[in-house]
Amino acid sequence: DIHANIGHVEDVQQVLDNDADGIGLLRTEFLYLGNNMDCSEEGQFQAYKKVLEKMQGKRVVIRTLDAGADKQAAYLGMAREENPALGCRGVRLCLERRELFRTQLRALLRASVWGNLEVMYPMIISVAEVQKIQEILKEAREELTKEGIPWKDFPQGVMIETPAAVMISRELAAEVDFFSIGTNDLTQYTLAVDRQNGNLGAYYDPRHPAILQMIRMVVENGHAQGCRVGICGDLGSDPELTKVFVKMGVDELSVPPASILPLREVIRNSRAGAENS
């Protein structure tokens, strides 16, 4: 399947225009970064509901807040750090600010009633983080039930974008329903190259054999536990690797909307090629 990556509610039209099988990554930083965005529980609920309704039952994977490093959010008043890419970013910030996270989880549980929602967590490095998320999720469900507000559970996944997550992917697979490999950060952290430093362009190589080996390992470990494995980093839209990913058993690619039709063509041609040979 080929899914779309987007970062705003308005981008859903592009997803539909390009005939994606679903949304594989909806980044939610827009709620906190943009001017006059409403990141209250109700504001988030309305935004997610709108996306789910527009997608008419197609799968929508929403990623919880991934602020920090390359995604600064002044609104959150985050502390200054010497090395923000190695700092309190992604799920770390959410686990430190439980109220902020609970608000987003409540909005997601409520929105889930309105479509085919799945939720994933960024920057995971341990099983303990996934378990802490489950505790907060449990509190959120109990609160909603007590308040008489309708909600529905959703399948959950983790982003595999740190070498640690790759190495413990077998253990992580036992905790979640799917993996989404974030090759942008995985490249940064594996090759020790700042993804934002243009001067290091020659070193920032997502096709590095180390990355391809890691993807292979994640697919094997994920599948061994019945966990779906997709790629949502930019490498997923590299047409020269599409065949390689299919062969590795990658279940889905999530790419920018404009890459969907060209990639589908690549897959169709490679299938035709395989049948004729």
Contact 106, 143 (CB under 8 A): yes
> Mind giving me the DSSP string for 166-201?
HHTHHHHHTT-SEEEE-HHHHHHHHHT--TT-GGGT
252 binds, among Mg ion, ligand PEP, none (CB under 5 to 8 A by kind): none
27 contacts ligand PEP (rule: CB under 6 A): yes
**What is the C-alpha end-to-end distance of the chain, expressed in Å?**
24
Q: What is the C-alpha to C-alpha distance for residues 119 and 136, in angstroms, rounded to an integer?
A: 14
Among 11, 118, 129, 161, binds ligand PEP (CB under 6 A): 161
72 contacts ligand PEP (rule: CB under 6 A): no
* 3-state DSSP assignment of residue 210: helix
Smaller CB separation from ligand PEP, 103 or 180:
180
CB of 223 to ligand PEP, least distance (A): 21
Smaller CB separation from ligand PEP, 180 or 221:
180
233 contacts ligand PEP (rule: CB under 6 A): yes
Query: Cα-flanking dihedrals φ and ψ of residue 141, to 5°?
Result: -65, -45
Number of shown-chain residues binding ligand PEP (CB under 6 A): 9
Q: Is 14 exposed, middle or buried (0-12, 13-18, 19+ CB in 10 A)?
A: middle
* Cα dihedral: 221, 222, 225, 228 (round 10): -160
Smaller CB separation from ligand PEP, 140 or 187:
187
118 binds, among Mg ion, ligand PEP, none (CB under 5 to 8 A by kind): none
Contact 235, 191 (CB under 8 A): no
230 contacts ligand PEP (rule: CB under 6 A): no
* 3-state DSSP assignment of residue 43: helix
Residues from 166 through 205 that contact ligand PEP (CB under 6 A): 182-185
CB of 171 to ligand PEP, least distance (A): 21
What b-and-e string marks burial along 84-103, b requiring 16 or more CB atoms within 10 Å of the CB? beebbbbbbbbbebeebbbb
CB of 37 to ligand PEP, least distance (A): 17
Q: Give the per-residue contact string, 91-120, with ligand PEP (x = CB under 6 A; - = no).
A: ------------------------------
Q: What is the C-alpha to C-alpha distance for residues 153 and 111, in angstroms, rounded to an integer?
A: 10
Query: Cα-flanking dihedrals φ and ψ of residue 44, to 5°?
Result: -65, -45
Q: What is the C-alpha to C-alpha distance for residues 159 and 27, in angstroms, rounded to an integer?
A: 12
Q: Which residues bind Mg ion (CB under 5 A)?
A: 161, 182, 185
Smaller CB separation from ligand PEP, 115 or 233:
233
Smaller CB separation from ligand PEP, 106 or 228:
228
Smaller CB separation from ligand PEP, 114 or 121:
121
Smaller CB separation from ligand PEP, 232 or 250:
232
Q: What is the C-alpha to C-alpha distance for residues 45 and 232, in angstroms, rounded to an integer?
A: 24
232 contacts ligand PEP (rule: CB under 6 A): yes
Binding site for ligand PEP (CB under 6 A): 27, 66, 161, 182-185, 232-233
